[in-house]
Amino acid sequence: MTVQDTEAYTGVDNLEVMADAVKYNNFLIDCVAKRTSPTERVADFGAGAGTFAEMLRDRGFSVLCIEPDDRLAAILDQKGLAQTQDSKTIPDDDLDCVYTFNVLEHIEDDVAAAREIHRILKPGGRLVVYVPAFQILFGEMDRKVRHFRRYTKSGMRDVLVRAGFQIDSAEYVDSAGFFATLLYNLLDMGKGDLNPAAVRFYDRYLFPISRAMDLILSPFFGKNVLVYAVKP
């Protein structure tokens, strides 16, 4: 991921709103923490404003942030997070774990991005991918932040397999969020903004219910796709 790979990010305000989604963010951090340990080399591919890297740092992890956007890179620097704006600066076979949350949908050639992650991972290195699901949910917020696509489980698996990964598991996440996103798209009126109060309400009261629903519904649908993969 280089500065040339993507235009300036247009959803900084939405990133700020999502930083308050405590239960949602902790769920994602748990997905990483169970795949690696604080003694290993970890990178956040598309680190944004560093919300997840900060949370992992608080748990004792040392995280390298990969973020090409100049404004976001400046925020990472202010937070004292290790960073690079160009993954090409990372040697081959260097990292034990890479996670990328809601990033690949921003990159036109997502297979090339996945191959770059494959390159910087050690053999046996783990990858955690979280992306938005189902093109039927594509709405004004996707357009605002310049998403190229949303994914199905099979579509995300295909991208990673083409990049050289072996898939450990793939599932849908946040089944209630599927319906919440449909409603959001209906009521959004073409703005693509997130309401901070609504995000906090969903995070506090509905996301735990959604995760319980996932125990039954995750094979079939959800707002996002979660994939665990490994570099053979």
Rounded to two decimals, the pTM is 0.93
* CA atoms in the 13 A half-sphere facing the CB of 213: 17
Q: Render pLDDT for 187-219 as a digit per residue (tens, 0 to 9).
A: 877 678 888 999 999 999 999 999 999 999 999
pLDDT score recorded for residue 109: 98
Residue 83 contacts residue 131 (beta carbons within 8 Å): no
Token pair for 166: 């072996």
pLDDT score recorded for residue 205: 97
- Distance between CA atoms of residues 115 and 163, nearest Å: 5
Task: Report residues of the chain scoring pLDDT below 50.
Answer: 2-6
pLDDT score recorded for residue 2: 46
Q: Which CATH architecture has domain 3-230?
A: 3-Layer(aba) Sandwich (3.40)
Break the chain into its structural domains and give their ranges: 3-230
pLDDT score recorded for residue 194: 87
pLDDT score recorded for residue 193: 85
Please tell me the chain's helix, strand, coil percentages from 3-state DSSP, rounded to the nearest 5.
45, 20, 35
Residue 35 contacts residue 97 (beta carbons within 8 Å): yes
pLDDT score recorded for residue 3: 36
Helix (H, G, I), strand (E, B) or coil at 55: helix
pLDDT score recorded for residue 4: 40
Burial class of 10 by CB neighbour count within 10 A (0 to 12, 13 to 18, 19+): middle
Residue 177 contacts residue 210 (beta carbons within 8 Å): yes
